[in-house]
Chains A and B, each alone.
Chain A
Amino acid sequence: MNIQRKNDLMYLVLGLVIFGIVYGLMEGGMIGSFWKLNIIIICINIIMSASLNLINGYTGQFSLGHAGFMAVGCYVSVILTTNFHMPLIVGMLAGGAAAALLGCLIGLPTLRLNGDYLAIATLGLGEIIRIVIMNINYVGGAAGFTGIPHLTTFPWVFFTMLVTLFFIKNFVNSTHGRACIAIRENEIAAGAMGINTTKYKVMAFTIGAAFAGIAGALFAHCFYIINPSSFTFMASFNYLIMVVLGGLGSLTGSVAGAFVVTALSAALASWPEFRMIIYALALILLMFYRPQGLFGYVELTAFKPFRFLDRTKGGRE
Chain B
Amino acid sequence: MKPLLKASHVVEMFGGLKAVSDFNVYLEQGELIGLIGPNGAGKTTAFNLFTGVYQPTSGEIEFDGQSIVGLAPYQITQRGIARTFQNIRLFSELSVLDNVKIAFHDHVKYGLLEAVLRVGRYTEEERQIERDSLELLKIFHLKDKAYETAKNLPYGAQRRLEIARALAAKPKLLLLDEPAAGMNPQETQELMEMIRWIRKEFNLTILLIEHDMSLVMGICERIYVLEYGHIIAHGTPEEIQNNPEVIRAYLGGAS
Contacts and interface: CB of A to CB of B under 8 A. Distances in A.
Interface of A: 2, 4-5, 8, 166-167, 170-171, 174-179, 181-182, 185-186, 188-197, 203, 297, 313, 315-316
13 contacts: A5-B118, A170-B115, A174-B126, A176-B115, A179-B105, A181-B91, A181-B98, A182-B105, A190-B91, A190-B102, A192-B89, A193-B102, A194-B78
B74 A316 contact: no
Contacts of A166: 116
A313 to B, nearest CB: 8
Contacts of A197: 74
Contacts of A181: 91, 94, 98, 102
Nearest to A167: B116
B98 A174 contact: no
A191 B74 contact: yes
Interface in B77-100: 77-78, 82-83, 85, 89-94, 98
Interface residues of B, number: 39
Contacts of B74: 191-197
Interface in B88-127: 89-94, 98, 101-106, 108, 110, 112, 115-118, 122-123, 126
A124 to B, nearest CB: 28
Closest 9 CB pairs of A and B: A174-B115, A185-B91, A194-B77, A194-B106, A191-B73, A189-B89, A175-B108, A193-B103, A182-B102
Contacts of B91: 181-182, 185-186, 189-190
A175 B90 contact: no
Nearest to B117: A170
Given A4-B123, A175-B105, A316-B147, A192 B73 contact: yes
Contacts of A8: 118
B43 to A, nearest CB: 17
B147 A195 contact: no
Given A186-B89, A191-B74, A192-B51, A178 B116 contact: no
